[in-house]
């Protein structure tokens, strides 16, 4: 039938593409890897967007806003507490591990790998990646609303009042935690309200991180876009910008996207399957 012929053609194409990609990869000195929700989804991390993406009766874009936090900090903290607790049972998948392994192997050869991620779950760190820019922040960092201090925080629960709260069931009652019992700053004499150090809808990305990322994209000679549709800003802007300089871009995700035509390579399927063989040691590598 037509479908199987098409699939067979795609499979053939991707084998041919893979050997070409591996040659580009073997020559690259500075590899930039842009990752998005698709990489985390394969570790079972919920995204709270699209079909079935609800926590209680909300999607992420209802709660991940400065307005929602000022209106109901207890509810927003329940949501983020739940997400932090869920992460305790999730592990890096083969895509995260392949990226970390590749970074450490290439650094011994004097080559660099940088990860630019939209994910806030720290799975790249847990897989062993060192050179990571978290452009949307992290579930495991807090920022004080009063003094502005940003701090790592892996406590479970993040504060006693949130113990056992955050149940995702639509029938669960809101905890209505008094604001003084929500996570507070432990800086000397501060005690300000803490918020998750994540970029919410309607907020801008950290300009220092953006500048550093721009510099990495300027010098990269190979770019991988992994598990992100290139529709979501900023991957939407980053990868085409790199392709525009004539640098090879390889897209690894579940389907074609509006940007696919502008990239040299497209590998369809789960990243945990497609990425590891692409990042394997090439026979031309000295180490």
Q: What is the pLDDT of residues 18-59, one digit of tens each?
A: 999 999 999 999 999 999 999 999 999 988 887 778 999 999
Q: Rounded to 5 degrees, what are φ and ψ at 225? A: -115, 115
Residues at the annotated binding site for NAD(+)? 36-55, 118-121, 227-229, 253-255, 271
Q: Which of 99, 217, 110, 197 is nearest to 148 (CA)?
A: 197
Q: What is the C-alpha to C-alpha distance for residues 94 and 116, in angstroms, rounded to an integer? A: 18
Q: Do residues 82 and 97 both lie within one domain?
A: no
Q: Residues 247, 126: one domain?
A: yes
Residue partners of 273: CB distance under 8 A and separation at least 6: 94
Same domain, 172 and 278: no
Looking up residue 62, the CATH number of its domain turns out to be 3.30.1600.10
| Structural domain boundaries enclosing 9 | 1-45+92-136+205-286
Asked whether residue 220 carries a pLDDT value surpassing 70, the answer given is yes
Give me 117's structure tokens.
């991620």
Residues 241, 234 contacting (CB under 8 angstroms): no
Q: Which residues are annotated as a binding site?
A: 36-55, 80, 83, 118-121, 144, 147, 185, 190, 227-229, 253-255, 271
Q: Are residues 36 and 160 in the same domain?
A: no
The confidence band for 9, taking pLDDT boundaries of 50, 70 and 90, is: low
274 and 218 belong to one structural domain: yes
Q: DSSP 3-state assignment of 164?
A: coil
Q: How far apart are CA 72 and CA 176, in angstroms?
A: 8
Q: Are residues 215 and 269 in the same domain?
A: yes
How many domains does one find in the chain? Answer: 2
pTM above 0.75, yes or no: yes
Given a cut of 80, whether residue 234 has pLDDT beyond it is: no
CA 261 to chain centre: 23
228 and 261 assigned to the same domain = yes
What residues are annotated to the active site?
A: 136
Q: What is the mean pLDDT of the chain?
A: 92
Residues 117 and 262: their CA atoms lie apart, in Å, by: 21
The Cα 102–Cα 87 span in angstroms is 24
- Residue 249 belongs to domain with CATH number: 3.40.50.1220
pLDDT tens figures, 102-158: 999 999 999 999 999 999 999 999 999 999 999 999 999 999 999 999 999 999 999
């Amino acid at each position: 039938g037509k479908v199987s012929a098409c699939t067979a053609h795609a499979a053939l194409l991707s084998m041919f593409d893979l050997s070409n990609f591996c040659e580009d990869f073997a020559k690259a000195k500075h590899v930039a890897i842009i990752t998005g929700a698709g990489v985390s989804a394969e570790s079972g991390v919920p995204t709270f967007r699209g079909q079935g993406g609800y926590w209680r009766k909300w999607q992420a874009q209802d709660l991940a806003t400065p307005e929602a936090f000022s209106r109901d900090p207890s509810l927003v903290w329940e949501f983020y507490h739940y997400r932090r607790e869920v992460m305790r049972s999730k592990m890096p998948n083969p895509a995260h591990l392949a990226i970390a392994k590749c970074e450490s192997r290439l650094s011994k050869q004097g080559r660099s790998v940088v990860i630019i991620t939209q994910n806030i779950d720290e799975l790249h760190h847990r897989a062993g990646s060192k050179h990571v820019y978290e452009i949307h922040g992290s579930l495991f960092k807090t920022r004080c609303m009063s003094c502005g201090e940003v701090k790592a925080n892996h406590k479970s629960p993040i504060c006693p009042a949130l113990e056992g709260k955050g149940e995702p069931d639509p029938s669960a009652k809101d905890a209505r935690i008094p604001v003084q019992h929500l996570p507070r700053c432990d800086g000397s004499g501060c005690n300000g309200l803490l918020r998750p150090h994540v970029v919410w809808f309607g907020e801008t990305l950290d300009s220092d991180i953006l500048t550093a990322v721009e510099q990495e994209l300027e010098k990269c000679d190979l770019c991988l876009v992994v598990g992100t549709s290139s529709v979501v800003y900023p991957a939407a802007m980053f990868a085409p910008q790199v392709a525009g300089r004539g640098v090879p871009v390889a897209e690894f995700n579940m389907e074609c996207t509006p940007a696919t035509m502008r990239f040299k390579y497209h590998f369809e399927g789960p990243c945990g399957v497609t990425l590891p063989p692409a990042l394997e040691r090439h026979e031309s590598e000295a180490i």
